[in-house]
Amino acid sequence: MKKIISILVIALSFSIASNAQDSMKKETMMKDSKATVISLEQTKGEFTQKTLTLAEGSYIFEISNNNVGHQVGFVLAPKSNPDAHIKTAYVTKAVDNNSKETSNVTTLEKGEYVYFCPLNPTPQYTLIVE
């Protein structure tokens, strides 16, 4: 019995250390990337920010789920082809109710894009990169 408890304690310790390292790695990536964080909020059926205008550059999208009642996500795509999702802009994990998640670093060039959430679902909103 003592061996089983010892094994469980060791396994739990590794799990906690691994989660802490993952969190630190994510924070370090955000700091080292020189990417700008763009915070977007979702409520039931919509984003609160209807249009974005950005300069060319690297961005991390932080998506907040403000009491939608279920998980939400984030899709960014060229306006000319909304099915051509920019996968780096996906949140790294579905956003639970009343929480936030971030995307990986996404480099955007001049042009028009759309953003939306198929899980919420929301309309397609315009993001312009000048």
* Residue 107 pLDDT exceeds 50: yes
Residues 85 and 105 occupy one common structural domain:
yes
**Structure tokens of 94?**
């579905």
For the chain, how many residues are written? Answer: 130
Percentage above 90 pLDDT, the chain: 75
Q: What is the pLDDT of residue 21?
A: 45
- For 121, the domain range is 35-129
The CATH number of residue 98's host domain is: 2.60.40.420
Taking the C-alpha atoms of residue 41 and residue 49, their distance in angstroms, rounded to an integer, is: 7
Structural domain tally of the chain?
2
What tens digit of pLDDT does each residue of 56-83 get? 999 999 999 999 999 999 999 999 999 9
What tens digit of pLDDT does each residue of 117-127 get? 999 999 999 99
Q: What is the pLDDT of residue 24?
A: 42
Q: How far is CA 115 from CA 2, 22, 98, 123, in A?
A: 54, 27, 20, 8
67: left (phi over 0), alpha (psi -120 to 50) or beta: left
Residues 111 and 57 occupy one common structural domain:
yes
Residues 15 and 77 occupy one common structural domain:
no
Residues 50 and 85 occupy one common structural domain:
yes
* Residue 16 pLDDT exceeds 90: no
Residue 13's Cα: distance from chain center in Å?
28
Residues 20 and 50 occupy one common structural domain:
no
Taking the C-alpha atoms of residue 68 and residue 110, their distance in angstroms, rounded to an integer, is: 32
pLDDT band at 8 (very low <50, low <70, confident <90, very high): very low
